């Protein structure tokens, strides 16, 4: 992520993000053409949840659990602090981020990565072999 965006990381209790308040960024999920719009100062994941979509897994929504990992392929954004257990500094430099902590500054192309440890190995025993779960 360019240094300018790095400096715009927000700390503190204020949930407002210093992004232009008029931006309704369009998020395009690659591969494919699925799109949705973020409201001004809304995170990518918040838009997904608001629209009732299931394109990106919705977890803790606070940057801690890592299930909403995406890679931003094109476009700039501002991010808030996220767990380094799920996005390392070098991954962040490659455009990997958590959707719940990503606020678009313009239209974005993204790829959904999902949690870092994927597959049955990381699922708690209670979910092993359970294929039908509650839709969000």
Interacting residues toward another protein by CB under 8 A: 11-13, 15, 57-65, 67, 80-85, 117, 121-127, 130, 132-134, 136
For another protein, give the closer residue by CB, 32 or 121: 121
Both structure tokens of 57:
């897994």
- For 70, counting Cβ atoms within 10 Å of its Cβ (0-12 exposed, 13-18 middle, 19+ buried), the class is buried
In whole angstroms, how close is the CB of 120 to another protein at the nearest point? 8
For another protein, give the closer residue by CB, 73 or 127: 127
| Neighbouring C-beta atoms of residue 63, cutoff 10 Å | 23
In whole angstroms, how close is the CB of 127 to another protein at the nearest point? 5
Contact at 8 Å (CB) between 26 and 40? no
For another protein, give the closer residue by CB, 3 or 11: 11
Cα–Cα separations (whole angstroms), residue 22 to 25, 38, 135 = 9, 11, 32
In whole angstroms, how close is the CB of 68 to another protein at the nearest point? 10
For another protein, give the closer residue by CB, 21 or 88: 88
**Torsion angle (degrees, nearest 10) of CA 26, 65, 70, 35:** -30
In whole angstroms, how close is the CB of 99 to another protein at the nearest point? 13
């Amino acid at each position: 992520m360019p240094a300018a965006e790095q400096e715009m990381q927000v700390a503190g209790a204020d949930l407002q993000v210093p992004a232009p308040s008029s931006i309704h960024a369009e998020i395009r999920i690659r591969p494919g053409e699925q799109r949705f719009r973020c409201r001004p100062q809304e995170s990518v994941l918040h838009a997904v949840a608001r629209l009732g979509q299931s394109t990106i897994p919705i977890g803790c929504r606070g940057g801690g659990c890592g299930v909403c990992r995406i890679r931003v392929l094109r476009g700039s954004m501002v991010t808030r602090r996220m767990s380094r257990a799920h996005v390392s500094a070098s991954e962040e430099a490659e455009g990997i981020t958590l959707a719940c902590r990503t606020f678009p500054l313009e239209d974005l192309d993204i790829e959904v990565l999902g949690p870092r440890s994927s597959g049955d190995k990381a699922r708690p025993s209670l979910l092993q072999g359970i294929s039908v779960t509650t839709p969000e």
